[in-house]
Amino acid sequence: MSFLNPTLAWAGLLCVMIPIIIHLLMRRRRRPVPWAAMRFIIEAYRRQRRRMNLEQFLLLAARCLLVALVAVAVGKPVLGEVGTIGARGPRTLHLLVDTSLAAGVTPVESQKPESALIKESALAAIDELDAARGDRVSIIAVGAPAQAIVLPPTSEMAAARQIIKDLPQTHARADWSEAMRVLRDALARPEAAGSEQVVGLISSWRSGCFDADSTLPSLGTEAAPAPLVLATPPASTVVDNVGIVAVEPARAVMMAAAAGGGGAEPGGMPVRVLLRRTGPGAASTATTMLSVRAVPASGRGVPGEEARQVVQWNAGQDEVQTFVTISPPPVDRSTSEERPGVFVVASIDADSLPPDNRAIAAVQIRERLDVALVVPPGGNASLAAGGDLSSYQPHDWIALALSPRGDFSLRRRQSGELRVQIVDPQQGIAPSVKAGGAGRGAGVLGGIDAVILPRPDLLEPAAWRAVREALDAGALVVLTPPIGEATQRWTEEVRSSLGIDWSIARDVTLLETPSTCAPGSASAGLLGQIASELPELARSVTVTRLLEVRPGSEGMDTLLVDASGRPLVVATVAGAAGEATPRRGTLVLFASAVDLAWTDLPARPLMVPLLQELVRQGISRGVGMPAMAAGMPLSALMPAEAADLERVPAVSGETEGPRVVGIPARGATPTPLRTAGGWLVRSAAGVTLGTLAVNADADASSVAVATREQLAKWLEPSSSRVEWATWGQASGSEGAVAGGRVAGSAASDRSPPVSLPLLLAAGVIGLLELAFARWFSHANRDAFGTRGGPSKGATPA
Amino acid sequence: MTTDPTVDDQARRTRPPEADASIYLHPQTLARLASFELRAKMIVEGLSTGTHRSPFQGLSVEFAQHRAYAPGDDLRHLDWKVFARTDKLQIKQHQQETNLDLVVLVDASGSMAYGSRSFEDASGEGIKTSYDGRAQWSKFDHATAVAAAIAYITLKQGDRVGLAVYADEIRALVRRSSSQGTWRQIVGALSVHPVDPQNRSRQTHLARTVDQVLGKITNRCIIAIVSDFFVEVDEFRDALARFKHAGHDVIAFQVLDRDEEEFDFADAAPFEGLEGEAALRIDPRSLRAAYLEAFRSHQSAIERIARGMGFDYQRVSTHEWLGPTLAAFVARRNAVMKHKGR
């Protein structure tokens, strides 16, 4: 038997000797009483000896039992369950082992991660099983996504022990719900009916180890009631933790120098870093040293210069956001053909939970961005001819805004960061056989980062498919209504071809009075870099014609609106694409044509920064993949030709896990990445297609101590029989000691931490002892008494 | 005259034991007993005339009966008046009155050393300890008081009193005498032959004692046995039977302590016998009922045997004043004898 409070229990059990010691001491202390009528005492003693011995034995037994019961009640034993495995038939123990991020915390005083203690508890639980009797064990690792390591249960205890020892620690959250669903399915199988099922939940139960707001599924089914659930008590050791919640470079695309290979971003790239801290230390002021640097994703080459910054925490502040400007590493021309980009690595001082002290973000390095302006031949004649402003077509304004300092002759290739190509909408636009983000290949739009469609009405269905292909591959697509069309028939084609569910009016709305312009609700996204100036710039813009656009179920990002709140510039929501429509790129729709007859935007100062920022940020959004949290399924935005992932050790730190992870074909269950790190996305041919940054799940990094009440309430839906249990050594867990396991009802744990039934039994024994003592002492009998009066001591007066 | 009790105690201890007789015969007891006479239930053989009937009938004052003359009778006893009236020879017989001999047997065995009453309370003179330093008034002390009292009233009515202090045998003896110094001799003998504190294991041997007593007494006497009678019932019965067979009158004074009668102890402790019994660790409360049952059964048997043989039995408690007890006893005894016409 083992106890929840074994120290108290064993100390109490030692107290059983107290009545015996008192008895012995009393025997020694008493002086003999001289007595004359000894013959009558001897006669009475001879007649009563057996009864008196029995009475004394019963009295001593009752007193010892009383002390023992109180001790055991305080210790809170596990009775009749796993602690007495073997007393009944074979049992199957299902171990749900917490391998989540927060379970890996290392309290300062213990010098041993709690994950190691969790494994020790699991091993001790296995040690209590007896394979010879038919006991079996199954193991489910709950680090997201939950993984059935050993299921169906096995009787190979040695193998199970080895599996426990080799269980890798993840940087993901704990997925108890999925683990219990998997377990419930296993319990529902017919073979589970042969033995008694017991579920062991082994965790340190810090706040990050479980989501108290979630609802656990019940382990019971219609066929079988929920089994007994034994949960280890929550850790009580208080620790502090500071973690990096997010690292977000201003853009996912970083411009390299056209010459010289040095950093080209003027002044470097700003990187937003969000830090969070938990634990009692959050109540006081503190500082954290933050280091950010860019590391070549290939793992080769020279890292960029490290930017260091001291982050100040105010008392009570648990989140802080800071911006660090970094410079990119020198571009290695010898390996730049694969354009792997760089990882922006942010790290802070070591603390109790190392995995969240480092976070990375993937950034691509580009020498230029290719923009396709789809206009009919001769469309930019007026611009090239240097005509007056009234003769400018929308694409002229767009070209001018995209390349204000460049050569106006767009027929020629341009130099600079943005290279604009003129593409004839009626010739040469067709879907390519091969498409992909960074490695886009053949086709007219292949390799294009942004497609601008001032004349969508001219596109053939094949051209729409090519545009869709570019959009899916991550390109930015900008649509503006054609001028001079009273009825915009292309809007239906946009909805069907590009897979959006917006409602776009076919008829142009003529505004009686020009309406001014204002930033939309989502302007901080794509236009975040000019957000501070946007209200001022937008105020001078007026609109006289527009197409009314309304969002669908996917929603839309409204970047600019008119005075009545009607959307003027809208974009698809990042990440809104589903598995069926793996749209990586961003679609931007201007509700008003870029023409002076519709709006004076082309002539306003907003025009250039608006288009420049839309193109740069829109392309950034489609390039690569956003950083994901460990344990999340691989993004649906993974390039179709991606075959495997290769870990980049230079940015991944010393983490366990495989070096190469295969990617199943689309439609199959994606392989989860449970540990943080930087990965190269490779094709089957070994070509690097991009980069993937995986960070520790910041939402699961809270190391705050959970209370038993919280935990008991959270565990309640899983089973009606939930009890605390501690196997083996679990220092840091309240009341847990090596070799002992104690349980009490989790529900009853809200009451004083004692076993109430045992305490009740102790009370009954106590009453029995009182009755025995009174009855056996004959204090209440005076049938032979000659006179009343108080009893005297052993020495006669 | 000093009033310091300590000085009194010290002074008393330097006096001879006989001087302590006043401790055992309290003035109030004397006052109670002064008007009583101790009468013999049976006919005693006295050396001088007294208040007690003698078995010898002859020349005496009190006529008893006539009987037919038989050859050899002393012609001095012929009742000539009857012969003159009836012409029959009748011998006149007279009841001879004689003196009473009282022999007091005081038990000095180990069990008599027990006492729970304070000496100061029982002595009634503010004396806190006995001459040998005891603070408790033992059963032997009480037995001494009983012996002193009945000796006093016997001597007072002119009868002879003797004393035997016994345990396993007679330890001290005072020959029968009616002289005035006898009482002090008796008390002195009881004082110098108390229960031996160095040899508490001395057991009672009543049969041997009876043998020795009967060997020393030739005439019929009143035998007053003052003891706790913690002996076997059969031994007690045999002792009384032998006294009865010898024609003696026996008065059994059973001296008991209140603790022995109530056994009202609370704490478990080893109880050690005063007559050599081994110590026994008991819980008094759990054993009380059985103890009292055995004790009272024994006490009843003692009383039943004594009364069954026509003897008097009187229980005397060390916690009770002796005067009323003895006065009631003597009065009851005299009343019974008067009722029987003796």
Residues in chain B closer than 8 A to A791 (CB atoms): 264-266, 285
Q: What angle do CA A167, A172, A173 make, to 5 degrees?
A: 105
Residues in chain B closer than 8 A to A40 (CB atoms): 291, 294-295, 298
Cα four-point dihedral sign B257, B262, B268, B272: positive
Residue B234 has pLDDT above 90, yes or no: yes
- A36 to B260: CB separation less than 8 angstroms, yes or no: yes
- With 0-12 CB in 10 A as exposed, 13-18 as middle and 19+ as buried, what is B180? exposed
Question: Which amino acid is located at A672 in the chain?
Answer: P
Q: A114-147 in b/e burial notation, b at 16+ Cβ within 10 A? A: bbebbbbbbbbbbebbebeeebbbbbbbbbbbbb
User: Which are the contacts of B107, defined by CB distance < 8 A and separation ≥ 6?
Assistant: B140, B143, B166, B167, B204, B225, B226, B227, B228, B229, B255
* CA distances from residue A361 to A72, A327, A354, B91, B202 in whole angstroms, order as listed: 55, 14, 18, 157, 108
- With 0-12 CB in 10 A as exposed, 13-18 as middle and 19+ as buried, what is B22? middle
Confidence (pLDDT) at B235: 93
For the stretch B34-69, pLDDT in tens is 666 666 665 555 544 455 555 544 444 556 678 888
* CA distances from residue B89 to B80, B84, B92 in whole angstroms, order as listed: 8, 9, 10
Selecting from B228, B280, B285 the residue whose C-beta is nearest the C-beta of A778 gives B285
Confidence (pLDDT) at A589: 92
Selecting from B262, B282, B294 the residue whose C-beta is nearest the C-beta of A787 gives B262
- B291 to A40: CB separation less than 8 angstroms, yes or no: yes
Contact B246/A at CB under 8 A: no
For the stretch A548-558, pLDDT in tens is 999 888 788 89
Q: How confident is the model at residue B21 (pLDDT cuts 50, 70, 90)?
A: low
Question: How far does CA B282 lie from the centroid of its chain?
Answer: 35
Q: Which runs of consecutive H residues, i.e. helices, occur in chain B?
A: 5-14, 21-24, 27-33, 80-86, 119-123, 139-156, 182-192, 206-216, 233-245, 258-262, 284-308, 322-339
Residues in chain A closer than 8 A to B271 (CB atoms): 32-33, 35, 38, 41
Residues in chain A closer than 8 A to B228 (CB atoms): 36-37
Contact between residue A172 and residue A630 where contact means Cβ atoms under 8 Å apart: yes
* Domains in chain A, CATH or no CATH each: 6-29+39-76+757-777 (no CATH), 88-239+703-751 (3.40.50.410), 241-367+627-700 (2.60.40.10), 369-622 (3.40.50.880)
Confidence (pLDDT) at A470: 85
Name the most confidently modeled range: A296-310, B78-92, B303-317: B303-317
Confidence (pLDDT) at A86: 39
Contact between residue A779 and residue B267 where contact means Cβ atoms under 8 Å apart: no
Chain A with chain B: Cβ pairs closer than 8 A: 139
Name the most confidently modeled range: A82-96, A646-660, B142-156: B142-156
For the stretch B90-118, pLDDT in tens is 888 765 555 678 999 999 888 898 998 88
Mapping DSSP onto H, E and C, the string for A19-80 reads HHHHHHHHHHHCCCEEECCHHHHHHHHHHHHHHHHHHHHHHHHHHHHHHHHHHHHHHCECCC
Average pLDDT over residues A411-416: 46
Selecting from B111, B264, B270 the residue whose C-beta is nearest the C-beta of A791 gives B264
Nearest residue of A to residue B280, measured between CA atoms: A42
Q: How confident is the model at residue B256 (pLDDT cuts 50, 70, 90)?
A: very high
Nearest residue of A to residue B110, measured between CA atoms: A36
* CA distances from residue B119 to B23, B31, B124, B135, B336 in whole angstroms, order as listed: 10, 22, 8, 5, 35
Average pLDDT over residues B311-329: 89
Q: Which runs of consecutive H residues, i.e. helices, occur in A423-472?
A: 461-472
Helix axes B206-216, B233-245, angle to 10 degrees: 10
Average pLDDT over residues A301-326: 87
Confidence (pLDDT) at A4: 60
- With 0-12 CB in 10 A as exposed, 13-18 as middle and 19+ as buried, what is B107? buried
For the stretch A128-138, pLDDT in tens is 888 877 888 99
- Across chain A, mean pLDDT equals 78
For β-strands B312-317 and B249-256, DSSP reports them as parallel
Tokens of A665: 């074909």
What is the CATH code for B5-42+100-339?
Answer: 3.40.50.410
User: Higher-confidence residue: B106 or A426?
Assistant: B106
Residue B262 has pLDDT above 80, yes or no: yes
Name the most confidently modeled range: A300-309, A720-729, B240-249: B240-249
Confidence (pLDDT) at B57: 46
Contact B121/A at CB under 8 A: no
Residue A730 has pLDDT above 60, yes or no: no
Residue A434 has pLDDT above 90, yes or no: no
Confidence (pLDDT) at B42: 58
* CA distances from residue B305 to B227, B232, B299, B300 in whole angstroms, order as listed: 15, 12, 10, 8
Q: How confident is the model at residue B311 (pLDDT cuts 50, 70, 90)?
A: very high
Say how many Å lie between the first and final Cα of chain A, rounded. 52
Contact between residue B309 and residue B315 where contact means Cβ atoms under 8 Å apart: no
Residue A715 has pLDDT above 50, yes or no: yes
Confidence (pLDDT) at B283: 80
Q: How confident is the model at residue A654 (pLDDT cuts 50, 70, 90)?
A: low
Confidence (pLDDT) at A402: 83
A164-168, A228-232, A778-782, B291-295, range with the lowest pLDDT:
A778-782
- Across chain B, mean pLDDT equals 80
Average pLDDT over residues A422-435: 64
Residue A508 has pLDDT above 80, yes or no: yes
Contact between residue A744 and residue A2 where contact means Cβ atoms under 8 Å apart: no
SS3 content of chain A, % helix, strand, coil (to 5): 30, 25, 45
- A35 to B230: CB separation less than 8 angstroms, yes or no: no
- Residue boundaries of the structural domains of chain B: 5-42+100-339, 52-98
Q: How confident is the model at residue A792 (pLDDT cuts 50, 70, 90)?
A: low
A34-43, A484-493, B136-145, B219-228, range with the lowest pLDDT:
A484-493
Interface of A with B (CB under 8 A): 26-27, 30-45, 47-48, 52, 55-56, 776-779, 781, 783-787, 789, 791-797
